[in-house]
Each structure stands twice: as C-alpha cells, then as structure tokens.
Chain A
C-alpha cells in the first residue's frame, strides 16, 4: 500500500485542479438522496446520500454485507428503492429522476455498470458481447434485419467497428473472436467494462473491478480506469475492497456499514476517520 501513497496524491491534485473548482462549482452527474431499501424487516440501505460529480472517480467501500451492491442495484433500477430519490444529470445539465424506471431505460439515459460476479454472455464471442452493449444506441428492428436495408447494414458495420475499437481500448482486441467464457479471469473483467462502455455512459458503476486479480493486473486495471476517465466524458463510482487501489484512484470515498454512511471525504480524511478504523479493524478496548 505504501508504494501508492506518494505519487497518486500528486496526480489527483492535478486532475482536480482546485483553482478551477473555486471558480466553477463541480457539476453533479449522479445524485442520491436519502435512499432507503427494505427487504422485509431488514433495512439494507438507510437514508443514504451520495453525489458523484463530473469527471470524478468515487469509491464506495465498507465491510461485506454493508449494502454496497444493493446500492448499485437500486441506482440501476434492478431494485425499486423503498424511499429516497436517485437523479442522473444529462449532458445538457437536466436532472432526471430515476426512481421507478426500468433498468434498460436507465442504461439508455447514460448509466452503465459491471457486476461483482461476472455476468458476461459466456457462449457468445467477445466482440458480440460488446455489440450487445450498443443495443440501446442502435435502431435496426426486425424488418431492417430481414430486408437488410442500407441503413441496417451501415449501422451494423458501425456497431462492429465501434465495438472493436472499444476492445482495443481495454487491450482485448486480439481475443475478439473468442468465446467470452474462454477468456482468463482478468480479461473477463475488462470485457465487462468494455461492454458497459459500449452503451455510451456518462456514469459508470464498477462493482469490485479488481476482485481476484493479482497485484500486477490490479495496477493495470487502475491505470485503465484512470485513462478511461481522462479520455472520455465519464464519471466513475466503484465498489472495491482493495484499499491500495481505492486510496490511489479515488477522488472521494464513501464508507458504508450496515446500510448507512459512516464517513465520506478524500482518501486522507477517510483514512484518518476513527469510525472507519473501527468498522474495519474492530473496536479496541482502550479506544
């Protein structure tokens, strides 16, 4: 962990540009207000507030069972939140309420995600996986497919080429014609990211992107995430247990425990927060 603590801080200051922030207030992309999710008698999320600003990388951390993945499922429409509001801002700075919308609708509005337990379309090729991500950005219907109109053919070729470019950007181009389930583990995680990017998101949610990766792969993925943020109009919210990566990559961190937010702030603030230390290391007798 110590090897990351020096340089990334410097880099973060560079990307945040505090002098700019003073003149123009950060524009939010994702706003979550008092989000509550009950499962029967169990309160999985308790009045959670969270904001992700444009171009930010925000991490959501917490012990297992804290409700992080539940939070993702609520935000992406897989669960309908019991209470609270989720807003997504589009490129024209309009604010859209996401509550009650279907997952595919939310994806079309510019929110994409990856899954903790990889959910690729295993029997399809790597390229096809990414092509499916383009579904909500393309229009060819049944008639177009059957008659192969010039429009349908052009759109299909575009889809193929865009998908291939996305594979290049996550360094998977050489595997484009392999079955997805034949890919090594780390490559599958990157393919999920490429597939999510294919939907043209403004907001990307990554659920434990480096789980099960070795330190080398973790470092590469960290670089990739940072590069994606810098090269696209993209904000990123990630759940991660790898503290080294979280501390060096994130602009801000939210810490959850038992469905509630217990701390938030810059990596330094969070690291110094006594409640976070307590949640992660357990209560000590002399504290």
Chain B
C-alpha cells in the first residue's frame, strides 16, 4: 500500500513538474506580466495521483491473474450463457438471438429517421469489420488499406449508374466482383510478403486508390465526387425518403445477416481451417500441403468482396460519394473494430463495430474528446485485454466414436 502511494506521489510530482511551463505559467501580453496558475497544475497533480493509483491497482490484479472488473455473479453468468459455445446453451442462445433480431427488425418503425440513418451506417461498418476480419482476424494478413475495396464498390455503382443507368440490384454483384478483382490485384504482388511489409504495401494500396479517385477527375469527378446516385428500387415502387431509408436499412440488415452466416460457415470449413493455419504459421502451413498462394488469394478475395458490397450500399444510401469518405482513417477505424472485438471472433467484431460507431453518435457532448477517448480505450485494451472483447469461441466437433452418429441420433 505504501508502495502504491509512493509511486503515485512520484508520478504526480513528475507530471506537475513537466507541465509547469505549459500549464502553470501564462504571459499576460496586455500588462506584460507573468501570471502563475498553480491551481491548475495542482489539480492535474491530484488527478494524476489517483489515476496512477488506479493504474497500479489494475496492474497488480492483472499480475495476479484476476479479472480487472469482476461483475456480480448473476450478470457474469448470464453474459457467459449468451457468449457460450453453441450447442451447450442452444436454447438461451436462440432466444437471445431472436430478441436481437426482433429489435433490429422493429427498429426503423419505432425510432426516428435520424436514428435509422445512424443504424444504417453502423450496420455498414459491421459488414466492413466482418469482411476485414476474414483477412486480418482469421487469416492473419494485416491489411491497412481495406477502405480501398469499399471505395471500389461505391464507385462501381456510382459510375455504372451515371454512365449506363444500371440499377442498384444489378450493380450489387458487380461491385462485389470488382472489389474481388482489386483484392486479387493487390494479392498477387504481396504473396511473398508478411507482417510489417504486407501492412505497408496494403497501406500504400489504399492511398493509391484514394489518390486515383481524387485526381482522375474526368472519370470520377475528382474531389467533387459523384452526386444523385439513386437509392435502391423495389420493383419500380415510388418511395419517399422515409420509405427508402427504411428499405435501405432492411437491405443492410439482410446483408449483415448473410455476411454473418457466410463467415461463420466459412470459418469452420476446410478453407477456414486453412486460413487459420495461415495465421498461425506459414511454413508449417505449406508443409501440411496447403497451397499458400491459393489460400492467401482467397483470403484477400473473400475479404474484399464484402467491402465491395458494403460500398455499393453506401453509395446508394448517401446518394453522394467523394474520395473524402475513403481515407486511411476509415481503414484504421475498421481495423480497430476487428482488434477490439477479438481477432477472428464474429460476435466480438459485431459488438465492437456497434460500440465504435454508435458511442460517438450518442455521446455528441464529448465529441471534442472523441479521439482522445478512443486512443485511451485502445491503449487500455491492448494492455489489459490484448486478445479483444470476445475470444476463445471454438467450434465443438462431433466425433462419431465419442458422440455417436449424428444422422442416427436424429432419426
């Protein structure tokens, strides 16, 4: 206890000393005098003192292997049930999934236009994060320019519509396909790269796409972007803005559900296992008869495809796109969702994406400190829970010898 106290005292003194010239002294240029604002420095010192105490306490708990925050047993028990492996609590899981689904379906009818719009963008990010999760979380290929594929999808729809008047539904698969082509175009040259080198190249790729969109003004309209992109139609029905927003909402919701189903099936399949093996050890992967080139390319293709779909929906939703929507910040944001949610975890990534998009929207009061809070959360997560929110979800296998024949049991 004395030790904590001493450390905290030292930290606060050190901080006060460091910030004294910046925060403590103020030049009054009118009177040409120096004003000492020691009160502010002292306040900071007190704050640092308590923060430091908290910090060491957290670390000591971590060192002893205890949870930083222990929830009351009732809460943690139900949480555990919610996130537990399928099969064990299939009933609870089905019920909770059902509740979530009903809430999501009812949402645009009970909430305002504004909130539906926020939810659409949150769901778009869920889709993006799940897509990036294939490359980063499952296959372990650090892609920093993911937003490029999103841009490809969006511009595919916008340009095809502008030039040939092709509608949303026809463009949706085309957008996905174009994103896959770009994914493969990126994948081929980076086959030999891994880790940091791959990250740098993909970062560059993202910037190349963005700068091309910005500077190829004759095709893309440059920074002015493309406007008047039509919203998705429904058998030529006339829809007002409210209706069409609601319609876009349901499209995104369906897309997210399809994404979740596809990725969870993929993750546990033969291909998914190969992707996970790629993340764990490339050399062992090759030695086990896995075609490294093919698996890496399928990781890029599968991952970029979802960004393409999301891009088409995004263009249709906002009706205006320009390169400013596809900056590196977006890539970083999507990557944070994957990292915070837990590499490879579907539930975790969905939750993290929702939090990271919805929290800033509903905490507008703190919008000035948004990036500060965001940074702090990232640092704290990386120190105390580097594996992300949800981890350790593994499929339960049924072994005929141990569990009997599945087909026979059902009959």
Contact = CB atoms under 8 A, between A and B. Distances in A.
Nearest to B261: A146
A124 B292 contact: no
A112 B284 CA distance: 11
B271 A113 contact: no
Given A145-B270, A146-B265, A156-B270, A76 B400 contact: no
Given A107-B289, A120-B284, A199-B288, A135 B397 contact: no
A132 B287 contact: no
Contacts of B289: 104, 107-108, 133, 135-137, 199
Q: How big is the A interface, by class?
A: 35 or more
Contacts of A159: 270
Contacts of B284: 115, 119-121
A38 interface: no
B280 interface: yes
Contacts of A138: 270
A224 interface: no
Contacts of B272: 145
A135 B270 contact: yes
A119 to B, nearest CB: 4
A48 interface: no
A122 B398 CA distance: 21
Contacts of B212: none
Contact of A161 (B273, B276, B291, B399): B399
B400 A140 contact: no
A78 B284 CA distance: 10
B401 A164 contact: yes
A85 interface: no
A56 interface: no
Contact of B290 (A120, A132, A155, A196): A132
Contacts of B30: none
B356 to A, nearest CB: 25
A164 B399 contact: yes
Contact of A113 (B270, B280, B287, B400): B287
A250 B357 CA distance: 63
A140 B276 contact: no
Contact of B286 (A78, A123, A137): A78
A121 B270 contact: no
B274 interface: yes
A135 B290 contact: yes
Given A140-B269, A141-B271, A145-B265, A176 B399 contact: yes
B271 A119 contact: no
Contacts of A131: 273
A122 B274 contact: no
Given A104-B292, A136-B289, A160-B399, A125 B394 contact: yes
Q: Is the interface of A mostly helix, strand, loop or mixed?
A: helix
B277 A124 contact: yes
A145 B138 CA distance: 16
Contacts of B122: none
B151 interface: no
Nearest to A115: B284
Interface in A260-274: none
A145 B298 CA distance: 13
Interface string A64-90: 000000000000111000000000000
B262 interface: yes
A236 B37 CA distance: 79
Given A132-B277, A135-B288, A142-B302, A119 B266 contact: no
A104 B281 CA distance: 14
A136 B288 contact: yes
A176 to B, nearest CB: 7
Interface in B370-411: 394, 396-402, 406
B283 interface: yes
B286 A104 contact: yes
Contacts of B288: 104, 107, 112, 132-133, 135-136, 195-196, 198-199
A161 B266 CA distance: 20
B119 to A, nearest CB: 27
A166 to B, nearest CB: 12
Nearest to A195: B288
Nearest to B262: A146
Given A136-B290, A145-B266, A160 B273 contact: no
A103 interface: yes
A140 B270 contact: yes
A103 B286 contact: yes
A112 B289 CA distance: 9
A132 B286 CA distance: 11
Interface string B286-308: 11111110000010001000000
Contacts of A148: 265
Interface in A96-113: 102-104, 107-108, 112-113
Best-surrounded residue of B266, B280, B289, B298 (most CB of chain A within 10 A)? B289
14 contacts: A76-B287, A78-B283, A104-B288, A107-B289, A120-B281, A121-B281, A122-B280, A136-B288, A141-B270, A142-B266, A145-B269, A161-B399, A196-B288, A199-B288
Given A120-B281, A125-B394, A133-B288, 18 more contacts: A107-B288, A112-B287, A115-B283, A119-B287, A120-B280, A121-B281, A124-B276, A132-B273, A132-B277, A132-B285, A142-B266, A145-B265, A145-B269, A145-B272, A160-B399, A161-B399, A164-B399, A164-B401
List 8 tightest A-B contacts by C-beta distance, closest first: A136-B289, A145-B269, A107-B289, A121-B280, A119-B284, A103-B286, A140-B270, A104-B291
